[in-house]
Structure 1
Amino acid sequence: MEKKYRLAKNEQFKRIYRNGQSMANHQFVVYSKPSKGTEHFRVGVVVSKKIGNAVVRNRMRRVMKEILRHHKHDIISNVDIIVLARKATLNMNYKQLESSMKHVLRKAGLISKKQR
């Protein structure tokens, strides 16, 4: 994921957790908040220690970022997003993860109308 699409600062994460909306399915939780200062979306990926050790968490983070990178043209602009992985993601392959993430993003209203 390119740098301009990333959330990096702790204050940004706190603002979205506190003031944003959330949507979930069994595999992912998505927090989102409209953003005025950007012309595209920004995303932060969170994988808790409940998921596994560092190797497992980093692999999950890489897979999630790759899914978002492939679908970056489908996601609406001017929004900050946090995607949190749940434990159910451990036993899923790439296609299942991709389908589940698209489902929760669509459910949260973050996929542009033309892609629905």
Structure 2
Amino acid sequence: MQKKYRLAKREHFSQVFRFGQSVANYQFVLYSRKNANIEEFRLGVSVSKKLGNAVVRNKLRRRMKEIVRHHREQIAGGYDLILIARKPVADMTYQQMEKSVLHIIRKASLWKPKKR
């Protein structure tokens, strides 16, 4: 994921957690906060040690970022987002993860309609 799409600093994560809104489904939690200083969205990803060892966590993290990267044109800009994986994600296929991530983005009203 390109640098302009990354949410990396601890202080930015803290602001999103403190002042943002959360939406959840069984597999993921999405925190979002409006940020007027940016045109695009920025994404932070979190995978707990409860989900597995470093290999498993990094695989899940890469998949989550790749799903968002593929659909970045349809995600609303001007937001800081944090996507947190829950326990059931460890057993999901890529297609199931993609469906669930897109569901939670739509649930948070961050999905732009397709242009015709």
Considering the TM-score relative to the shorter chain, is it more than 0.5?
yes
**Identity value in percent:** 55
* Alpha-carbon distance between aligned partners in 1 of 2:71 and 2:108, rounded to the nearest angstrom: 15
* Alpha-carbon distance between aligned partners in 2 of 1:9 and 1:91, rounded to the nearest angstrom: 29
* Alpha-carbon distance between aligned partners in 1 of 2:41 and 2:98, rounded to the nearest angstrom: 18
The 3-state SS of whatever aligns with 1:7 is: coil
Structure 2 unaligned spans of 5+: none
Q: Name 1:54's counterpart in structure 2.
A: 54
**Aligned-pair distance for 1:113?**
3.0
Matching of residues 24-63 of structure 1 within 5 Å? 24-63=24-63
* Residue identity in the other structure for 1:17: F
Q: Kindly provide the CA deviation profile for residues 60-111 of structure 1, in whole angstroms up to 9, marking residues without a partner as x.
A: 0000000000000010000000000001101110000000000001001111
* Alpha-carbon distance between aligned partners in 1 of 2:72 and 2:54, rounded to the nearest angstrom: 26
* Alpha-carbon distance between aligned partners in 1 of 2:14 and 2:44, rounded to the nearest angstrom: 11
Runs of 4+ in 1 over 6 A off after TM superposition: none
The 3-state SS of whatever aligns with 1:102 is: helix
What is the number of residues matched between the two proteins?
A: 115
* Residue identity in the other structure for 1:67: I
The 3-state SS of whatever aligns with 1:50 is: helix
* Residue identity in the other structure for 2:100: S
Structure 1 unaligned spans of 5+: none
Q: Name 2:87's counterpart in structure 1.
A: 87
Q: Kindly provide the CA deviation profile for residues 42-61 of structure 1, in whole angstroms up to 9, marking residues without a partner as x.
A: 00000011111101000000
